[in-house]
Amino acid sequence: MSKVQFRLVKEHGNARVGELTLNGVTLQTPVFMPVGTKATIKWLILDMLRDPRYIGDLPEIKLILANTFHLYLRPGEDLIERAWWLHRFENRDGLILTDSWWFQVFSLGWNNTLQGDSFEQGHIDWDKHSVGMKVTDEGVAFRSPHDGSKHFFSPEGTVDIQCALGSDIMMMLDVCSSAWASKQVYLRDMNRTHAWAERQYHHHQWKYDKVRWVLFPIVQWGTDLTLRQKSIDALSPFAPDWIAVWWVSVGEELELKRSVLAFCGPKLPAHTPRYAMGIWTPEDILYSISEWFDMFDCVLSTRLWRHWVAFGDSDTVSSREALSSFSDNTTSMELWWWKTKLRNARYKEDFGPLHKYCPCYTCQNFSRAYLNHLVKEKEMLAGTLLSLHNIVYLHWMLEERKKDMLAK
């Protein structure tokens, strides 16, 4: 019997509202999960995500992410286990998901290792990779980007590390293939990942009833829909609770990306949450909802502020124009899509909020003119106010979307 309780509250077209319960915590889907890579969300105190002073009258944000790779390296899973796991370590109520670490390692050497012909073929010179990664059927050897020390992750080892971290939801070790990989490389990576999934499942299953955490595989393989189907078929026996979909790698065209969601969504079990990893723009989230998906995450909602960008009044596109392509997402909300580039001179004397309907502390208390001043002066407060806004904006948008669906 699955430890994850999930029931459908309302369906509208391909979109749906659900209720998820795990380890005594209940939340409503669709839901966006903020990313706290190193047991914190940059620039924020985690209590802000449940405090009405900062999120308005919205439900508290009950599910966040942390990263297995980074926490393994520093401060180490043993220390976190001695601190009574991540929840106590970061003083966090609610649910914590530890994500698959592969993409973080893979991306560390992205710009230096995928060049020219090797880039087109998806071949990586791991000796030149910034973490010196070596991938075999037994697992992954790599060097720490902090001090160059050598490490090895086996499929079973990553399960043990996440158990020591004490997260509620653990993602399986997999291989994230390059968007430009050849079919041969895709097949090799897929077969390796499926073999790893079986090993991780059996390693975890013997203690499944004794622990709080659950373990999910991840469907991969780019925009090749035939391989996506093979991956769904191969991984489903190892997904008693639910199965996630890694959207794509980096660089694919938008239409191809969305074809993956449209293909995979209805093929996943209807009685479990459908998790699309790495999706973060308002447009893509709403599209994903219209293709059966319930859960989303990406670090870019908080990373955007480093480029002085916030969700809000777009320079070119209104929400009504953006929504016109989502037949299942017609809504009465007046949204204006990302992105507000706050360094622009046009905001120097703009005394309106980032978004007139967003209930976040930033929008309720500060003008674009003030935020323009903060980002130009590179004040740390800009990071706090913009990170808070971007997270709450997506949370608010999904709450409004759910209200719209429930009213129909």
Residues labelled catalytic? 99, 297
Residues 6+ apart with CB under 8 A from 201: 172, 215, 217, 237, 238
Q: Report the C-alpha gap between 352 and 191 in whole angstroms.
A: 54
**H or E, element range at 309:** strand 309-310
Which value, to the nearest 10 degrees, does the dihedral of the CA atoms of residues 336, 337, 341, 347 take? 0
- Pick from 96, 240, 84: which is nearest to 167 by CA? 96
Based on its alpha-carbon atoms, the radius of gyration of the chain, rounded to whole angstroms, reads 21
Which residue do the tokens 């002073």 mark? 53
318 CB-side CA count, 13 A: 4
In one-letter notation, the amino acid at residue 77 is: E
Both tokens of residue 239?
């997904």
Residues 6+ apart with CB under 8 A from 109: 124, 128, 129, 130, 131, 133
Q: Report the C-alpha gap between 391 and 303 in whole angstroms.
A: 11
Q: Report the C-alpha gap between 148 and 136 in whole angstroms.
A: 20
Note whether 158 and 68 are within 8 A (CB).
yes
DSSP secondary structure string, 205-220? HTTGGGSS-EEE-EE-
- Pick from 172, 178, 175, 199: which is nearest to 189 by CA? 175
Question: Strand 309-310 vs strand 295-297: parallel, antiparallel, or unpaired?
Answer: unpaired
Note whether 47 and 54 are within 8 A (CB).
no
SS (H, E, C) 147-208: CCCEEEECHHHHHHHHHHHCCCEEECCCCCCCCCCCHHHHHHHHHHHHHHHHHHHHHHHCCH
SS3 state of residue 279 = coil
